[in-house]
Amino acid sequence: MTQPQPEALSVVIEREIAYPPEKIWRALTQSEMIAEWLMKNDFQPEVGRHFRLSGDWGGVDCEVLSLDPHQSLSYTWNHPNSDPAFDLRSVVTFTLTPTDNGTHLRVEQVGFGPEQKQAFHGARAGWTQHLANLEKAVVRAEG
């Protein structure tokens, strides 16, 4: 009899942004804007589309899982590694909810195993910084 696997951990970061969902959506789905706040990429907003996010440290392999324009976007976030502590197979979901003052943006990355504490904490810090950068990118685009 196999032991049940512990629940996967997830990172959730939420942020209020003083722009409507349509403007946030552009930052999430236009390759040149994604490069401003996240990483270089070859993203295209098509379900099933494989793309890569690349940074100075390497990159992640992704696939668009779902798109609901101006409401939600979900894609895989895979960083293969022979060391289980760094072999990350996860899913990132962005959810946009209109508010009286703009948009409530929720980002969830799920799939961290219990041995991936470093990746989990890195993602929490990383998404906090990425969302601050996303907001700045939206402001610049409106400039």
Residue 118 lies in a domain: yes
Residue 1 lies in a domain: no
Angle ∠(6,122,124) on CA atoms, nearest 5: 75
Residue 127 near residue 14, CB atoms below 8 Å: no
Given a cut of 70, is residue 2 above it in pLDDT?
no
Q: How confident is the model at residue 80 (pLDDT cuts 50, 70, 90)?
A: confident
pTM more than 0.85:
yes
Strand partners of residue 60 = 53
Mean pLDDT of all residues in 65-94: 93
The total number of structural domains in the chain stands at: 1
Distance CA 106, CA 97 (A): 8
Using a 10 angstrom Cβ sphere, with 0-12 exposed, 13-18 middle and 19 or more buried, the burial of residue 26 is middle
More confident residue, 84 or 11: 11
Residue 5 lies in a domain: no
Q: What is the CATH number of the domain that holds 105?
A: 3.30.530.20
Residue 61 lies in a domain: yes
Helix (H) / strand (E) element for 68: namely strand 58-68
15-42 pLDDT per residue, tens: 999 999 999 999 999 999 999 999 999 9
Residue 61 near residue 52, CB atoms below 8 Å: yes
Given a cut of 90, is residue 7 above it in pLDDT?
no
Residue 3 lies in a domain: no
Domain span at residue 30 reads: 10-142
